[in-house]
Structure 1
Amino acid sequence: MRMLSRKISNFSTFLLVILALGFLLGCSEGPKLPQLVLPETDLAATALIPKPVQVVNGPDAFPLDRYTAIFTETERDAFTGVGEFLSGEIRKTQKITIPVNPDSGKDVFRGIYLRQTPGMEQEQYNLQISSDSILLRATTAEGAFRGVQTLRQLLPETSNDTLAEYPVWVIPGGSIQDKPAFEYRGSMLDVARHFFDIEDVKKYLDVMAYYKMNYLHLHLTDDQGWRIEITSWPKLTQIGGQTEVGGEAGGYYTQEDYKELVAFAGDRYITIVPEVDMPGHTNAASVSYPFLNGNGKTPKPYTGMRVGFSTLDTRKDTVYQFIEDVVREISALSPGPYFHIGGDESHATQKADYEYFIKRVVPIVRKYGKIPIGWDEVGTVSLDADVVAQIWQDKGNEVHAVEQGMKILMSPAKKAYLDMSYDSISKFGLHWAAYIPVDSAYTWSPETYSDKIPRAAILGVEAPLWSETISTIAELEYLAFPRLLGIAELGWTPSGERSWEDYKLRLIRQTPYFKRLDIQFYPSQRVPWMEADSLLPWYNNRTK
């Protein structure tokens, strides 16, 4: 039997071709497939995170095997890239090669079709799964990519070896209609207090993509370190990049490193949001170039955890030339729409100086084509609506931001800060905002957290992970997982479809994925992990 045509332009034609090929298969002299009697499956019972908007069971199941191929609209568009990503992940996990748009010499009996369908939203996708085909519809390649993550989660880790003489992975049949509740679903990594290299960040990006998150905010600068090369100001990394909390060696990303991260994220439809925190949190910059310092002193490198003691000289024009150079260089490397200017905890900056500073920096960011984001303190400054306020504390700053028409990014420290300890015996983290166990990180609603923020004003949700108490990828994962999965669901799934009792049962079934990636998560006692397959022996053995 020969390959199904790649040039199907009409869905009714596609169905006729499938029927005709089914008939020809019975008459073919080609390879004889065994008659597979597939087990009963239940699509609605699968452990998908985030939970889709709608799941409907079907009568059939789809057997993924060596006679399966992936077909896309054309060999040259972004949909083909999504198909190749899916093929690569199947090859890594299931150890089987599923070709994308194969040559006509290959025997193909089943297809996964990535089909561009007009009229759907940016990240919306629909899946139809039957015994001989999987049809994934989306208007954009980004929507198709989100649907591919659902397919990856539906694939069993092990094959059903009783069905045929070769491996077969059975995917439950039915249909899924899905799209995100919020446009922005992100996390933040603080690489300034402790530096994390690009391989660590790539691993974090891979997990974010698997759970349909789409923004990674990198906190690139702080008192303890400057982590991004600025060619016009080389001492920022030569001096400011050499320290971190605790006095270790620090580190930084060259511009080539940063571009590699941006490209890696982009391949997963994740946008990097760079942050240069100012006018506070700037000791590393002032150590590198003392004229920036707002108190007239030459600062020393700082490796502690205190905040609020540093400031830029907000009335010096050369400070704004420095800022413009930094914003210009980083913006040129960052294709996304946002640039984060920080603005938090500027306790050493007088109120009038703070307002003056923010009003001068916002136009610089816009000059280079970016939308400014700031921590919620920027909401107290009189600005226009084209600024995003990231809400992290409960001090009423959101009221000022909303009154000015700003979009709001929800990151309340009491619920969304991944650096908060789970409980009083957690190995890592702080608890100045709260202890945040796994259930508390999930059982809140971005839509209703504050009655002063209307739903229409909310851009999305972001989970920050500050790094004062962690310095390795294992420690990072301990704090981030499994809480990040709950934040991913809060950003994607409609509030009426979210339930802790349902979510925790889906959460324990993520353990095969955790094992495969060796994610060193925290096995909270509030989740019945013992129901997962051999979880605790695996966890205990690898943490010895």
Structure 2
Amino acid sequence: RGAGGGAPAPAAAPAVIPLPTSVRLTTGPGFVVDRGTRIVLDADALAAVDGVAAQLAELLAGAVGQPPRRLAHGEAPPARSIHLRLDAALDSLGEEGYALAVAPDAVTIAASGAPGLFYGVQTLRQLLPAAVEHRAALGRVLRVPAGRVVDRPRFAWRGAMLDVSRHFLPAADVKRFVDLLALYKLNRLHLHLSDDQGWRVEIRSWPELARRGGSTQVGGGPGGYYTQAELADLAAYAAARHVAIVPEIDMPGHTNAALASYPGLNCDGVAPPLYTGTRVGFSTLCVERDSVYAFVDDVVREIGALVPTPYFHVGGDEVERLPHDQYLRFVERVQAIVRARGKRMVGWGEIAPAALHPETIVQHWRPDSSARHAARGGRVILSPAKRVYLDMKPDSAAALGLRWAGLVDVRDAYDWDPATYLAGVPEAAVLGVEAPLWSETLVRRTDFEYMAFPRLAAVAEVAWSPGAARRWEPFRARLAAHGPRLAALGVNFYRSPQVPWRR
């Protein structure tokens, strides 16, 4: 308190991305993280809270002297503790909402569920100096500003997509990307696992898909694929960070890798050669053959068992060599297969004219019939190419990326409102926002990172923060403060001239 005994004065807005629903920091000493700090959780906390506590302890490793511990029944948190607490009174914030209170002698993160505690930890992380991301710098004082944050997401689906088909990314690189998604409270990772240039997951009932279909990529490199054990491990790793993997097997188009692996998927019974170029629209499954639907069922069954999230993405885009009536019948038959396997179907906007179940999700990327799906009670993911396609060049001089949808810099990714973006798709029909990253020009992890960041941080704020609270100028100031954090994490990010970066 000040000399007059009044309430503490408000401090400058914190550099937290996405912007919390409500935040009030106050002047004063704040909370110091050091060897005397303890991470504690309630005696009867769910096992998932142990996982969040362990992740916080790993973040603070070298600064905090002891591992997390459970309090005894009736025991009060000790002084200088960080207390992770489940509180049913916060149900109104949803399972991803949280309340964070920072005082000089204690930090409390409270939520109705483990996802909310996890996101509260991410906010605490961003309130700490960027040095917390760099183990070698943890000898210094880590101070958290005093104040209170109450927060909840605007949209349920906040995601990114990685195209690992045109250029393959090893599982370790995908895990690193998951870590970065979690930092910005993104909760979906859509993996584009098949395309003309490569099939990227082992299917035991159709082994040539990975062996032959996964043997190359754009430009003729060696390709690669995830074994079933690797994909299951990826899904578990992501789930521990509250990121759901959404597997996509694109069909009936974008299927040359599958067609080259099994002649019977082709109408003429002849397997085409493997393809390493970047054209689209030339391949299609033989949709009038019943054996093709047995193939689809096997693929959905095997992948669905590995990835225990409720979604299966079937692609459905850019099918240029199939009569429209055949295409619609295919989508409807595949929808029945996906639903029979206990999954909720997701598809690109082209599927919208089909007879879709209201639980099926349409992903908008270019002008389409998404409004038709919304009108019948369906939900839509917004991925407008001219706003959130991360493979679009951020400026005309960029060596990586494409520009068929125009240049997309940070402000383009930030300055739009999902509630009003698409005519006929009101906010209630918007499930969320996803930023796809196609990989025609991206070869290695550092390429993917350069195109994803910092634009993905802008997308995260669009998806999480209240629309009325978002403003470009304050956002770019907060984003500037994330330069040192991204650098400490070793992220190869694009230093957009729109942002006054701090070094």
TM-score by length of 1: 0.86
Aligned match of 2:481: 509
Q: Deviations over 1:43-69 (max 9, x none)?
A: 552100000011123454111111110
Aligned residues: 481
Q: 189, 202, 206: which one pairs with 1:216?
A: 189
Residue type of the partner of 1:501? Answer: E
Note if contact 1:64-1:168 (Cα within 8 Å) is conserved in structure 2: yes
Matching of residues 81-120 of structure 1 within 5 Å: 81-91=51-61, 95-101=63-69, 109-119=79-89, 120=91
Aligned match of 1:272: 245
Confirm whether residue 303 of structure 1 aligns to residue 276 of structure 2. Answer: yes
Q: Deviations over 1:108-147 (max 9, x none)?
A: 6411111111142110100111111111110001110010
Residue type of the partner of 1:150? Answer: T
RMSD of aligned Cα (Å): 1.8
Residue type of the partner of 2:32? Answer: P
Q: Which moved more, 1:485-494 or 1:63-72?
A: 63-72
Matching of residues 275-354 of structure 1 within 5 Å: 275-294=248-267, 296-354=269-327
Q: Deviations over 1:430-468 (max 9, x none)?
A: 011111011111111111111321110000000000000
Note if contact 2:42-2:71 (Cα within 8 Å) is conserved in structure 1: no
Confirm whether residue 53 of structure 1 aligns to residue 50 of structure 2. Answer: no
Q: 421, 424, 438: which one pairs with 2:396?
A: 424
Q: Which moved more, 1:508-517 or 1:196-205?
A: 508-517
Percent of pairs with identical residues: 46
Instruction: State the 1:383 CA deviation.
Output: 1.9
Aligned match of 1:140: 113
Instruction: State the 1:168 CA deviation.
Output: 3.4
Note if contact 1:359-1:383 (Cα within 8 Å) is conserved in structure 2: yes
- Structure 1: distance between partners of 2:415 and 2:305: 39
Instruction: State the 1:291 CA deviation.
Output: 1.0
Q: SS at the partner of 2:313?
A: strand
Q: Deviations over 1:125-176 (max 9, x none)?
A: 00111111111110001110010100111112459xxxxxx85321111110
Aligned match of 1:481: 453
- Structure 1: distance between partners of 2:266 and 2:10: 62
Q: Which has the larger radius of gyration?
A: 1
Q: SS at the partner of 1:170?
A: strand
Note if contact 2:163-2:439 (Cα within 8 Å) is conserved in structure 1: yes
| Structure 1: gaps of 5 or more residues | 1-39, 160-165, 534-544
Residues 72, 194 of structure 1: alpha-carbon distance in 2 compared, 3 angstrom cutoff? same
Instruction: State the 1:366 CA deviation.
Output: 0.7
Q: Deviations over 1:220-276 (max 9, x none)?
A: 000000000001100001100001000111000000110111111011010000000
- Structure 2: distance between partners of 1:513 and 1:207: 11
TM-score by length of 2: 0.92
Aligned match of 2:37: 68
Q: 363, 367, 377: which one pairs with 1:405?
A: 377
| Structure 2: gaps of 5 or more residues | 1-7, 133-138
Aligned match of 1:536: none
Q: SS at the partner of 2:31?
A: strand
Residue type of the partner of 2:151? Answer: D
Q: SS at the partner of 2:250?
A: strand
Residues 384, 125 of structure 1: alpha-carbon distance in 2 compared, 3 angstrom cutoff? same
Aligned match of 1:153: 126
- Structure 2: distance between partners of 1:399 and 1:484: 26
Residue type of the partner of 2:24? Answer: V
Residue type of the partner of 2:406? Answer: A
Note if contact 1:292-1:313 (Cα within 8 Å) is conserved in structure 2: yes
Note if contact 2:130-2:488 (Cα within 8 Å) is conserved in structure 1: no
Note if contact 1:391-1:411 (Cα within 8 Å) is conserved in structure 2: yes
Q: Which moved more, 1:144-153 or 1:519-528?
A: 519-528
Confirm whether residue 498 of structure 1 aligns to residue 470 of structure 2. Answer: yes
Q: Deviations over 1:473-499 (max 9, x none)?
A: 111111111100000000000111111
Note if contact 1:42-1:173 (Cα within 8 Å) is conserved in structure 2: no
Aligned match of 2:145: 172
- Structure 2: distance between partners of 1:301 and 1:90: 48
- Structure 2: distance between partners of 1:249 and 1:281: 19
Matching of residues 432-447 of structure 1 within 5 Å: 432-447=404-419
- Give structure 1 regions of 4+ aligned residues with deviation exceeding 6 angstroms: none
Residues 450, 297 of structure 1: alpha-carbon distance in 2 compared, 3 angstrom cutoff? same
Instruction: State the 1:386 CA deviation.
Output: 1.6
Confirm whether residue 255 of structure 1 aligns to residue 228 of structure 2. Answer: yes
Q: Which moved more, 1:65-74 or 1:301-310?
A: 65-74
- Structure 1: distance between partners of 2:27 and 2:217: 57
Note if contact 2:190-2:247 (Cα within 8 Å) is conserved in structure 1: yes
